[in-house]
Structure 1
């Protein structure tokens, strides 16, 4: 069971922003690739720092489509390629283990991608709180916590009927 957030938030909390380069640690050091959202959007998020779960969808404009990439499962919608709606967990905050100075939103989409999507847009619906961000005694302890967060995300989001109103309310482009 996730910790109760001190946020007085009515979930879901919706965010849309451009994917930008982050610190480069997600895939390389942590084995958990993330999509980092542009700082202007992060600065406007009125949630406490912590780890959250929810859903995400990528939107790639025609001008950002890379010809050498096969966007498997993406659907053409007007002038945009749209991904399916995926489960995600995300970290909002300064990542105390790495002692970051600026707040970031790092979204881990629960799907395997063989390419990056910098400059694409990511739509995120935060549906619940997992835990506060905290420091860890070791990199392995942080990695273990991330894996636990991912498992909790899967558990919380497995009931598709429970979350139907979130994924079908018009925020995401339905691809089915």
Structure 2
């Protein structure tokens, strides 16, 4: 799979590709169904399959409120990593800027999709919007295709266990800590990644050493504060862990942190190592305890629960 950043990087031989368009935040089950449809359609047409997406997220321009920041389910790097496991031929990242955002729907189709990408066929989800103020709808692509010489196919809504598979639904579930239900809609566990950094040493003092995580991308969505059973990947090895997201209420701290106690592993020096955290299920809220000893007893109980629960999972 090839990755192109900007229209100038797109080779001539990728003209006449079968293309899908969108933000694809989360690359969930519905997104992956569209991707597979593009791959199959391109093979049948002896053409290339390509996903065209946007960076940064268009909502940064459509809604710039600091009180409602754009939080990503998948970063650009994660999108590439996830799509490498498919038979997709290419990803094209278009830079989101004011010029692009202010194009009318027809200008976008004519100037970008037809004149510069030279699409042969476009496949999008039923809820796809494009052009200034999202004026263009998926069905408009069919009429524009007749005018400019490409075909368009609209994919119907996809549900999983009677739940609509949409990025907004997944984002809402994560904000409520419902990581297990979110995983069902995504098709895999929700994950975050970062680097292990030095912390305050609270965990070690409590005989529960933790890896403190500095998240790679500050725009990445973090699930609701609380205690989670997780799987972690460090230096190519996988472990189960207990993740705390919160502000360490018992110690009256205020900075939001992400830390993981790795189960059944001795306290080893992991500083500087990369870590990927998969969220399996939420155990409880972050609580404020009257004493440090009470906190320690709760952590022991949490560990017992997790050691039982991991019997249900494979690393």
Give the TM-score, by structure 2 length: 0.40
CA deviation after TM superposition for structure 1 residue 115, in Å: 2.6
- 1:116 pairs, out of 258, 269, 274, with 269
Contact 1:42 1:103 in 2 (8 A): no
Q: What are the residue-to-residue correspondences of 1:69-80 with 2, within 5 Å?
A: none
User: Counterpart in 1 of 2:152?
Assistant: none
Distance 2:267 2:255 in 1: 28
CA deviation after TM superposition for structure 1 residue 110, in Å: 0.5
Distance 1:21 1:117 in 2: 10
- 1:16 pairs, out of 169, 193, 197, with 193
The 3 A distance-change label for structure 1 pair 102 and 155 is same
Counterpart check, 1:153 vs 2:309: no
Larger gyration radius, structure 1 or structure 2: 2
Equivalent residues, number: 134
Higher helix share: 2
Q: What are the residue-to-residue correspondences of 1:63-142 with 2, within 5 Å?
A: 82-83=236-237, 85-142=238-295
Distance 1:17 1:108 in 2: 15
User: Counterpart in 1 of 2:225?
Assistant: 49
CA deviation after TM superposition for structure 1 residue 40, in Å: 5.3
The 3 A distance-change label for structure 1 pair 134 and 24 is same
| RMSD, aligned α-carbons | 2.0
SS at match of 1:146: helix
Deviation readout 1:17-65 (Å, 9 max, x if unpaired): 10001111111x2100000101555773331110000211212xxxxxx
Counterpart check, 1:36 vs 2:36: no
Which runs of no fewer than 5 residues in structure 1 stay unpaired?
60-81, 168-176
